Structure 1
């Protein structure tokens, strides 16, 4: 997995959107996830929870499966396992318009 530190090494610091695009581009595809290493103890997971991967998000009022993307920051525990530190959801309609976001 390529580290996002490549951005700094190349001296490329355009915008936050460019940084996100680079993380996605350089990430490792693992099923419905794209995983990019931030450093040896931190990674970001871009998860595609659409179509057959859609699921309810009951605490936010989505009783039925809802198409959304999930962006999750994970840190490594002392045991070497990944643990979620922050999770952000982007819900969109069938035309691709963002209709809700939440942590």
Structure 2
């Protein structure tokens, strides 16, 4: 599942002008890996299809605080680790809800 998430992250963010113009290719690869790891850990918390994943999917749909907490934790981690400028963190934050929803929904199937 991790490789599938990593590929989705690369497809969504790879070559994004706000990211590619502000980080080295090595940093971009590390950022993709960190995002994929975070989504994998978040979406893969439960295989029962209920509980935390149901709550996550509902929070994503409504833009709730759970989504904000996930985004904030990841963005804060990436910012401190890589010293990312606002253009990069904004692009990542904009892509996260769709990526999280895609894999949270897949885990419920």
Do these two structures clear the TM 0.5 threshold for a shared fold by scoring above it? Answer: no
Q: Which has the higher helix share?
A: 2
Give the structure-1-normalised TM-score.
0.27
Answer 1 or 2: higher relative contact order, Cα 8 Å, separation at least 6.
2
Q: Judging by fraction of residues, say which structure has more strand.
A: 1
